[in-house]
Structure 1
Amino acid sequence: MVKEYIIDNISEYLELIREKKFHNYIFRGQNQAFTGIQASGFRTYKGGWGTNQFYDIKEMKRQFFNKVVRKISNDEKKFFLAFCQHHGLPTNLVDFTTSPLIALFFACYGKEKPKENILIDDAEIYLIKKEKLLDITDMIAEFNNKDFFESLLVNEEIRKKTLFKLEQLFTTQSDIALIYLNRLIDCYENNNINIHGESLTELDEEAREIVEEGDYYLNKLSDFKNKNEISELYDYLLNEIDDESITYGETYRLESFIYYSTEEVIARVYLALLINLLQIQFDCGDQQLNLDFDMYFTYQPPDLFDRIVNQKGLFIYQPYLSKTDEQYQFTVLSYQSINPDYTLRIRNHHEILNELNFLGINLESIYGDFDNIAKSVKFNHDYTFKQ
């Protein structure tokens, strides 16, 4: 369950950060909650017949590239996804920052001042722990900004690089490797499917008993305490996952466990279960799976723009899969959920904006372009008029 706090002023905010040791988190400020944390490219999608419209991110990106390619640098081409985000094209990137004060500014800026007797929702700041982040910037850049989930389904080189990063993450955080794996397994259970993509509720009683027995390790992962038990789970997936390209490729297949740590085996199991889940989603037609697991992929391009530097920014890369029925032109979109560890509800937005401005956190310092410097100057004069 997400923990929530209500913040009325900067002093409370900074004290909460100090008390909860939030220096190990990244922050996102939103002046309205939308329907959770969503990349701009997904906000129009509601699901269902007649409401399944969403931006064709790939096509827009292709058209934009063709129109600007002669005018941009090699670095801007290499990190073209960030270039698109910077210039306002809907993408699957979500802005975060390592600065709590900048997140507070974005939560408060643009929030309408409440009118008398009218309630307006609080602004919100979302926090995610840094240990949940896996940087995939190099892979996105190397493979020409192709979508990460689609690449995992077909590209063995992407799988190898992802496995290497998972091994590094799990080895340095061995105490939570099993927790991450358990959350991914919960994703199967929450979607009411087994590793074959079969709906558990549609199985008859005899088949259900066989599946439950066969999926014992998937349902009892929290009981695993040593390498031998993880090895049994590894063998189970090796024999049961339908797509042998997942389990019999170079990424998964091991000759002997004696040369590998528990965390390295967990990394292979995790990756196999993730790819298998994506394959189920890709094959299941009009069924939309809830892709909800506690590991988030980050995209951190170099400092191409002053805005990235000024905002101490980074992106969470919100991967997705989409599939269109050509006959009925109905599209199913599934993207990874982003669930904050903490939500801070911010009140007194205008008072906090004035305090932030006094501390030098304003449109001028965050953006630095002429238009926003002018807006910052106007903000100061408007504040003076009200005194």
Structure 2
Amino acid sequence: MDKIIITSLQEYIKYISESTHNDFYFRGESNYFHDRISSGLRNIECFDFGQAEKHRVPFFNYIKEYYMEVGNRLNEIDRKNFICFSQHHGIPTNLLDISRDPLVALYFACQDVNKSTSGYIYMFKKDNVLDITQYLPEYNMYDNSEFILELCRLEKEKLINTIQLFKSFFKQRKKLFEKLFLSLIEDRKHLFKGLQGYDENILNMFEDFLNDEEKDTESIINIIESLQKTLNTDIFKIVFEEEEDYFITIYVLLFIDYFKSIVEFGEPVFRINFLPNFKYEPISSFQRIKHQKGLFFYQSYLNYKEPVYEVDGYSIQRISYDIELEIRNKGEILKSLDKIGINRKTIFDDFDNIAKYIVESLKDK
């Protein structure tokens, strides 16, 4: 993937105008980081997991304590979307801030101007993002509930819902499904130290499917039944409308088996590469989010116990982007942004940041 270098506001506006920016979400970062990692999942190995009374996912301790302090003061919207409320007020969570506004992303990419480093903007195709907003408020967000575990529930109704979720999403996204399906096979290959018997058969069948070759429907159904037995679940008789539905079902069953194996055997897996980016956009009472045209990616994760040293491990979803921009000359770009009304005062619009903006502005005069 080519890296595009931007050195001025004019260059940036020209590039964004030519790239149909309405098709993308944006995230600005003031330095280079190898992965996009939410605040609650950064440096997770630095936490002390030896204390049994602590929650096994460290940032939930913060959220739980914060709720105990402020929960009785919240309105129904903030209580229902408490993980968003926590993120807004500085509690580490597994939410990653993104924006619809490319100029907001540019502002954040240009922070830390005293460091001789570039900023970066990551662009994400909206069409490749799965909206899970309606699912998250159903779960107790200040208690032990991980979205991946919800996706892996084997009860009949839960499994049907998971398959339907991905079926609806992938129906018009064949290229994305191909990419993520093959990533899942590759990740299973690394986890199991080679292709399992049915993985190899599935891969061959999937290649036939991609090449529009004649399908062996009976063999595909046999694969689904074998996966059911592996997962010890009596799935159901699905009415398949199209051949693509078979492979979406196989995709779901394969990733459930994959996550189940990680938890059972504690095999270290650091990144989850085969899930689409998940969007979380709750109703918000925060003016700051509205000013920043903000929303979130929900970064899923899986906690497991490493068997040799008996320490907690974490598999974290990789947030994949479509375009990367390197932002140079950050100081001058910030000045240009200020001239068109993009600055600390308008981005945050609270008393503290308005005061800081006034002090910074007058200091430079």
| TM-score (normalizing by structure 2) | 0.86
Q: Which letter does structure 1 place at the counterpart of 2:140?
A: N
Aligned twin of 1:244: 231
CA gap 1:214/1:309 in 2 versus in 1, 3 angstroms = closer
The answer to whether the Cα contact below 8 Å between 2:130 and 2:276 also exists between their aligned partners in 1 is yes
The reply to whether residue 127 of structure 1 matches residue 126 of structure 2 is no
Question: Aligned in 2, Cα 1:229/1:296: closer, same or farther, shift over 3 Å?
Answer: farther
Contact 2:345 2:357 survives alignment (8 Å)? yes
Find the counterpart in structure 1 of residue 245 from structure 2. 264
> Do the aligned partners of residues 233 and 179 (structure 1) sit closer, same or farther apart at CA in structure 2, a change above 3 Å counting?
farther
Deviations 1:67-124 (A, max 9, x none): 2111111111111110111111111111111111100001112x1325xxxxx22111
The alpha-carbon distance between structure 1 residues 59 and 44, as it changes in their structure 2 partners (threshold 3 A), is: same
Task: Look up the match of 1:358.
Answer: 339
Q: What CA deviation, in whole Å up to 9, does each residue of 1:309-365 have, x standing for no partner? A: 111111111111112469955111111111222211111111111111111111221
Match of 1:99 in 2: 101
The structural deviation recorded for 1:174 is 4.2
Kindly tell me: are residues 27 and 172 of structure 1, through their superposed partners in 2, closer, same or farther at Cα, counting changes over 3 Å?
A: same
- 1:44 paired to 2:43: yes
Which one of the candidate residues 221, 241, 258 is aligned to 2:206? Answer: 221
CA RMSD of aligned residues (A): 3.0
Deviates more, 1:214-223 or 1:317-326: 214-223
Name stretches of at least 5 consecutive residues in structure 2 with no aligned partner.
50-55
1:102 and 1:361 in contact (8 A); partners too: yes
> What are the equivalent positions in structure 2 for 1:335-346 lying under 5 Å apart?
335-346=316-327
Q: Give matches, 1:153-164, under 5 Å.
A: 153-154=152-153, 156=155, 157-164=157-164
Matches within 5 A, 1:156-235: 156=155, 157-174=157-174, 176-189=176-189, 192-193=190-191, 198-200=192-194, 211=196, 215-218=200-203, 221-225=206-210, 226=212, 228=215, 232-235=219-222
Counterpart residue number, 1:30: 29
How many residues align? The count is: 355
> What residue is the counterpart of 2:114 in the other structure?
113
Partner of residue 75, structure 1: 77
Taking structure 1 as reference, are residues 222 and 312 closer, same or farther at Cα in structure 2, changes over 3 Å only?
farther
Name the structure 1 match of 2:7.
8
In structure 2, C-alpha distance between the alignment counterparts of 1:187 and 1:58, rounded to whole Å: 28
Deviation at 1:378, TM superposition (A): 2.5
Q: Which amino acid aligns with 1:58?
A: F
- 1:222 Cα deviation (Å)? 3.2
User: How far 1:158 moved relative to its partner?
Assistant: 4.6
Provide the secondary structure at the position in 1 that maps to 2:336: helix
SS at 2:269 equivalent: coil
Residues 54-65 of structure 1 mapped to structure 2, 5 A cutoff: 56-65=58-67
- Tell me what 2:151 maps to: 152
2:46 and 2:262 mapped to 1: Cα distance? 15
Q: Deviation of residue 22 (structure 1)?
A: 3.6
Question: Taking structure 1 as reference, are residues 105 and 219 closer, same or farther at Cα in structure 2, changes over 3 Å only?
Answer: farther
Q: Structure 1 residues 187 and 199, CA, compared in 2 at 3 Å: closer, same or farther?
A: closer
Contact 2:265 2:307 in 1 (8 A): no
1:182-225 per-position Cα deviation (integer Å, ceiling 9, x unaligned): 33323323xx24xxxx323xxxxxxx8xx457623225633324
Once residues 350 and 96 of structure 1 are traced to their aligned partners in structure 2, the CA distance between those partners, rounded to angstroms, is 22
Whole-angstrom distance in 2 between the partners of 1:371 and 1:230: 64
- Post-superposition CA distance 1:5-35 (Å, at most 9, x none): 1110111112222333343111110112234
Query: Which of 78, 89, 92 is 1:87 aligned to?
Result: 89
- Aligned equivalents of 1:328, 1:177: Cα separation in 2: 37
For residue 314 of structure 1, give the secondary structure of its aligned residue in structure 2: strand
Of 150-159 and 136-145, more deviation after overlay is shown by 150-159
For 2:300, the equivalent position in structure 1 comes to 319
Which structure 1 segments of 5+ residues have no match?
115-119, 201-207
- Indicate how the Cα distance of structure 1 residues 101 and 48 shifts in structure 2: closer, same or farther if over 3 A, else same: closer
Residues 143 and 249 of structure 1: is their aligned pair in 2 closer, same or farther, counting only changes over 3 Å?
farther
Give the CA deviation at 1:229.
5.2
In structure 2, relative to structure 1, the CA distance for the partners of 1:245 and 1:313 (3 Å cut) is farther
CA contact (8 A) 1:93 1:315 kept: yes
Q: Per the alignment, in what secondary structure is the counterpart of residue 131 of structure 1?
A: helix
Are 2:268 and 1:287 aligned?
yes
